[in-house]
Structure 1
Amino acid sequence: MNEDRIAGAAKEFKSSVKETIGKARGDAKLEADGNAEKVEGKVQNAIGGLKDALKKQGDPGAN
């Protein structure tokens, strides 16, 4: 697990909280911001997963 996966997961969690608070308050902007940040977190996490896979592929003993 690399820094991108950790940061992406943290961003996803934080944005989910933001989105939920936005829904509860009826604040469409806060909800939309949370949703956008969640997508950013998912992308960052996916990039981290790709980096991990490439690293594993380059290191035959990493299975």
Structure 2
Amino acid sequence: MDKEHVKGAADKVSGATKDAVGKATGNEKLQAEGKMDKAKGEAREFIGDAKDAAKKADKGDVKH
């Protein structure tokens, strides 16, 4: 697990919290921020997965 995975997970948790609080309080701006943070977290995790795949390919660990 690299730093992109960690940052992605943190963004997703933060986003889920903002989304839930925004929804509970009727704060649409906070809810939208939460959705954006969750999307950013997904993107970071995707980047982390791509980096992991590249590292495995570089080492010759990729299975066909």
TM, length-normalised to structure 2: 0.90
Distance 1:23 1:55 in 2: 40
Question: What is the match of residue 3 of structure 1?
Answer: 3
Structure having the larger proportion of residues in helix: 1
* 2:31 counterpart of 1:31: yes
Q: Answer yes or no: is 1:43 the counterpart of 2:19.
A: no
RMSD of Structure 2 on Structure 1 (CA): 1.5
2:60 corresponds to which letter in structure 1?
P
TM-score of the two chains, using structure 1 as the length reference: 0.91
Identity of aligned residues (%): 35
Instruction: Return 5+ residue gaps in structure 2 as ranges.
Output: none
